[in-house]
Amino acid sequence: MGCDVCYTNHAEADQDDMDNLLTLLAAAGCTFVMGVAGSDDIMLGYQSTSFHDALYARRLLGLKPAPEFDAWLQSMDILNADNRMCTTLPPQFLRALERLA
């Protein structure tokens, strides 16, 4: 089951409402949550969850990503074996930055 935790900009809602809903959905077993870079979809005029919100929900409930995604995140040096964000930039990203210089 998945969900897009979001609201349109004209709604009587705010980020606290979204954090509460995300927490409740994750505790209820929701297995997929939409993420928008920066959590602000300016084209459609709504606020959504960002990618870091999934990290929050996993950490809060002691969950891990799907096995295939977890393996990819670790192989790309995005998450470490403790399911925490790596503190350095992944080598692939550094090489891409070097090509731009």
Residues 43 and 3 placed together within one structural domain of the fold? yes
The whole domain housing 83 covers 65-101
Residues 7 and 53 placed together within one structural domain of the fold? yes
pTM more than 0.85:
no
* Counts of helices then strands in the chain (DSSP H, E): 4, 5
Residues 77 and 50 placed together within one structural domain of the fold? no
What mean pLDDT do residues 29-49 have?
84
Give SS3 for 40. Answer: strand
Residues 82 and 33 placed together within one structural domain of the fold? no
Report the number of distinct structural domains present in the chain: 2
Residues 11 and 29 placed together within one structural domain of the fold? yes
The confidence score (pLDDT) of residue 43 equals 80
Torsion sign, CA atoms 28, 77, 73, 95: positive
Residues 75 and 49 placed together within one structural domain of the fold? no
What mean pLDDT do residues 6-35 have?
89
